[in-house]
Structure 1
Amino acid sequence: MLSAVKRFLIGRPLKSGQLGEQKLNKTKALAILSSDALSSVAYGPEQILLVLVTVSAVAFWYTIPIGIGILILLLALILSYRQIIFAYPHGGGAYVVSKKNLGINPGLIAGGSLLVDYILTVAVSVSSGTDAITSAFPGLHPYNVVIACALVVLITILNLRGITESASILAYPVYLFVLALFILIGVGLYKIATGQVPPTLHAPIGTPVAGISLFLLLRAFASGSSALTGVEAISNAIPNFRDPAPNNASKTLMAMGTLLAILFAGIVFLAYYYGIVPNEKETVVSQIASTTFGRNFLYYFIQATTALILVLAANTGYSAFPLLAVNLAKDKYIARMFTVRGDRLGYSNGIMFLATASIILIIAFKGRTEHLIPLYAVGVFIPFTLAQTGMLVKWIREKPKGWLGKLIINFVGALISFTVMMIFFITKFGQVWPVLIFLPLIVYIFHAVKRHYEAVGDQLRITTCEPALPVEGNVMIVPVAGITHVVENSINYAKSLSPDQIIAVYVAYDRESERKMEEKWKQWQPDIRLVTLLSPYRSIIQPLTKFVDTVEYKASESHYRVTVLIPQFIPKKSWHNILHNQSSLLIRAFLLYRKNIIVTTVPYHLKK
């Protein structure tokens, strides 16, 4: 039943040789890897206005120079990550760049920041999209958390079906959003050019503004820079591209940068020219669309595609998180399970972990994750800064042809990224301070996992581990709960292995049951020694493990090993298991951690 449901949801398994078919072309890659960056156009310009409105509406003309500054930062980031794609064509992005050029800890900080950021991407994006849905249908508002979790599950299933299949489905809403905004910006600019929009709605550029300060402008710049989240995703996901992967990734990155620049600049300019004032009840994009078209089909088309892109921005996390996790797992900083491909050749463990963590966040914050946005943004600019600085070190160290131009690009990117990061820390410390706790904690966990894998490797390696002790024979211990076919099956198996060294062990709760068991055993198995253990407190585990430890201590002196054969009956139907106490599983769980004890389960399958 479960297998049939899995096949229906996920699809049939793919052969390893079909991996090449799961690579992305540029069109699909642009859709699923750019959704996070493109969706930020819906809220990035609004973040600038929210800061400036604290002074006055006259200050809105500063959105133009601030927008130009953000576009310069975008250009520096795009050119820098293009260089990263060719310098490190196997993916990994900021993690690999920082680790190779700045050292292990900066690399782990970058990697840890991005892992957390991708989890926040899913939680914040889905919650924002859910808010858009419940705003249109107020009756659904009490079900915000349920709807958000259902959307995460839906996107997770799509990604478990394989990156190509999910891209084929999710590409349509992304390109519809781009089309909708192009129509909005085009019609808006046409109306401005033809004089249909009065120029009195906004203050002219250069108008003096009382109370404006450099600090406030920097804060507005940092808030608007949240539109650049997701820019790094393509450099992390190079292995998902068709060959030649670096060339295709580079072209996709340039296309994403161009689209993002046009859409961001267009929305910023229209918001300024229309004199849009942000408010809680209606987004900036909604106000622009309403002013441009009125409340007609095109308005609702723009609103619908905006809600869709906010939800589907989560897919960037699903595309980049598993590949970043693979790089960390290959370096032994997180569990090796993240390197395993699933039935559809995707890294399904990474996908499932991301979905689970995102749902936990959504439930914990009751779907109101908007106050996580500053944490989400600063989590991006930490790896931005480290990646740019790492490339600076690389060019200075290697000095390849044309290195000076590359150095300047990375220097500008590093400087602006660091400035934005520090502005976030200074102006929104109350919201971003958890970074100072969880990042060192994550780095500590990375190192602990690495130490564990190294310790395991040292102990398993034949050239370095202790020589195995000689084994002269086996003492077989069989815990018995009565005289049954299950016990008979286990005793017969023990006789086939070591007929002269078998000890049956029965735990009695009172003297009467102890006496009856001894009498029955003498008649049934007179050749097999039975040891009865009295347990007045009705514990099976404690007396049994104590007995096993005693036998093991004596057996080790003669180079004998102790094997505990645990009888276990297997019901015909799996649900029958809940009707029986699972004492055999408990005994096994306790004994597995006993040194020099071999634990074996002897199954007996019931027929009805």
Structure 2
Amino acid sequence: MLVLATVAGLLLWIYNANTNSLIHLYVIGVFTAFTLSQAGMVRYWLRTRDKGWRVRAAINAVGGAATGLVTLIVVYTKFAEGAWIVTVAIPVLVVGMLGVRRHYLRFARRLRAGTAAVAAASMPRNTTLLVVQSLDEATKEATWFAQETSPDGFRAVHVPTKAADPGIRPRWFRSGDDLPQLETLDVEAGTADAVLEQVWRLPRGEADFVTVVIPELFKTRSMFDQLRRPLELRLKLRLLAEPGVVVADVPVLPDVHRKPEHLAVRVIVSDVNAASMRAINYVRALGVEDARAVHFAFSGDDAADIRRAWALQGPALPLEVPEAPYRDIGLPLLAYLRDLTADPDTAVLVVMPEIVTRGWRRVLHNHRALYVKRLLLLEPGVVLASVPYQVL
């Protein structure tokens, strides 16, 4: 929307808002679309050859010829008056879109080709780091989450800052039984780098994961509330690019008091590929019994395809396939999760495979993951975890 508004504003500025010049852009765009749609219908009738196809094909052919002739006349007569912009822009856009489509197809083949290799990895292992900056409701829930997902225990680390509690170590020790010692990190290289240094010291690979649990206590129901916690925000941004590191965000909202006792894990999958298999391997490392994969199907064919591919690849998790009409997973996802969190004793860990790329390719990927993060960040009883799959 912002791009369209910017382009429209530039055109108004270039043509001084002169409608006599702008109308040529509209006419060429509209009649080009008419011509292409009529040509597409002719091709359709020639391929299907249904009853009466000759008459229908002839009608569409006449319509396409008429609109195409109008397009050529406008381009020829008004080319120097501004029609050249659309005449040049349309081929450039088509070539660009074909290039994007070719990139997505090549990328999908690469992800599918790596499925077997990721699925064949040895039994996954996970090491958990809990970032403790204060002893509040978010830290309590994050501690419970770390205990539920770390059968072999976890480490608790504290990054001293100007706003940190100087007496947090003894208070942490008295806050509960069976808690690990709170490690105070050296911040000489920087607060975020102090946590990153601990991550760098841990083994990571196809079968080794490191989970960094970040509690966040929101004072308002606004995404901008994150700006009050610059350390947590920097950690989430920087850790995403680290291979083998999973960032688990534990947000707690104001006036929402939950004491969960049961953790359900749901992996959102769009296809059976290497990124999905890596997320499933991560869930296996957590040792949580109530774990499933979820695919939101846009159609009956989509549901059948994912079930067939799932049965063929044989992932370790059972698959659920809810419907997602209108090709939007937002409302179906919220309804699915709220059905689980309706029980106040249940919290849901939503695991999202996330593609990590370099350069200009970043613009083309992870739109759905970002959408889901924004959608669920302020959802009570939901913990978000991003499992990166790096494609360099």
Which structure's relative contact order is higher, taking Cα pairs within 8 Å and 6+ residues apart? 1
Structure of greater Rg: 1
Greater share of helix:
1
Greater share of strand:
2
TM-score normalised to structure 2 length: 0.48
